[in-house]
């Protein structure tokens, strides 16, 4: 009886080992497929990230803070570039009124008054501003001049109102 019991125990253990081995190999194969898929996805993401990095460097090149000639021009005239950025932004945003369109924007607001909400200085003479009325939005290209006393005068050059989808 003892020999039969040991033989059944040995057969049961062998079957259990085979089942565990088969299950483990299936899990291993599944994980390897998943790793290969994730590696391919990572390579695609890295390939897509390179143009984004190039665009970021191009966008940085169209900024007052990164154009050495513009910074030198302002510093030679005795202005702090950061202060000029703040003054120009204030000159544009301060024209926003509670109940009227910003006078630099050549369009009438359809869902309320158009207001400038974001400004980016391109160099020591030009800026781009985004405007919206809450539903419609557009971009405004402006030029500006700073006199020797530091007063900013802003001129609207071109505007673009995006169609609503």
Distance CA 24, CA 18 (A): 10
Distance CA 79, CA 72 (A): 10
Block residue for tokens 């080992």: 17
Lowest mean pLDDT among 15-24, 49-58, 100-109: 49-58
- Looking at the whole model, is its pTM more than 0.85? no
Instruction: Say yes or no to pLDDT of 49 above 80.
Output: no
Report which DSSP code applies to 27: H
pLDDT band at 145; cut points 50, 70, 90 = very high
Closest C-alpha to 105, from 144, 139, 151? 139
In sequence order, the 6+-apart residues with CB closer than 8 A to the CB of 81 are: 64, 65, 70, 71, 74, 75
pLDDT band at 63; cut points 50, 70, 90 = confident
Distance CA 89, CA 61 (A): 19
Q: What is the pLDDT of residue 36?
A: 94
pLDDT band at 160; cut points 50, 70, 90 = very high
Q: How far is CA 99 from CA 96, 111, 112, in A?
A: 9, 12, 8
Task: Report the 10 Å Cβ neighbour count for 88.
Answer: 22
137 touches 158 (CB < 8 A): no
Please state the rounded mean pLDDT for residues 138-156.
92
Please state the rounded mean pLDDT for residues 83-101.
89
Please state the rounded mean pLDDT for residues 27-43.
92
Instruction: Say yes or no to pLDDT of 53 above 60.
Output: no
127 touches 142 (CB < 8 A): yes
Instruction: Say yes or no to pLDDT of 50 above 80.
Output: no
Instruction: Say yes or no to pLDDT of 7 above 90.
Output: no
Q: What is the pLDDT of residue 59?
A: 60
**154/60: higher pLDDT:** 154
């Amino acid at each position: 009886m003892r020999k039969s019991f040991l033989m059944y125990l040995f057969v049961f253990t062998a079957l259990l080992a085979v089942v565990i081995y088969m299950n483990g190999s299936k899990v291993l194969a599944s994980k390897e497929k998943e790793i290969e898929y994730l590696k391919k996805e990572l390579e695609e993401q890295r390939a897509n990230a390179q143009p984004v990095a190039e665009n970021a460097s191009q966008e940085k090149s169209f900024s007052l803070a990164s154009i050495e000639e513009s910074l030198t021009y302002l510093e030679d005239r005795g202005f702090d570039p950061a202060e000029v950025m703040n003054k120009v932004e204030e000159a544009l945003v301060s024209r926003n009124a509670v109940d009227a369109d910003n006078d630099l924007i050549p369009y009438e607001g359809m869902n309320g008054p158009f207001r400038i909400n974001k400004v980016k200085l391109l160099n020591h003479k030009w800026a781009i501003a985004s405007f919206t009325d809450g539903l419609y939005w557009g971009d405004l290209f402006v030029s500006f001049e700073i006199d020797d006393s530091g007063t900013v005068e802003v001129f609207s050059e071109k505007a673009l109102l995006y169609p609503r989808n």
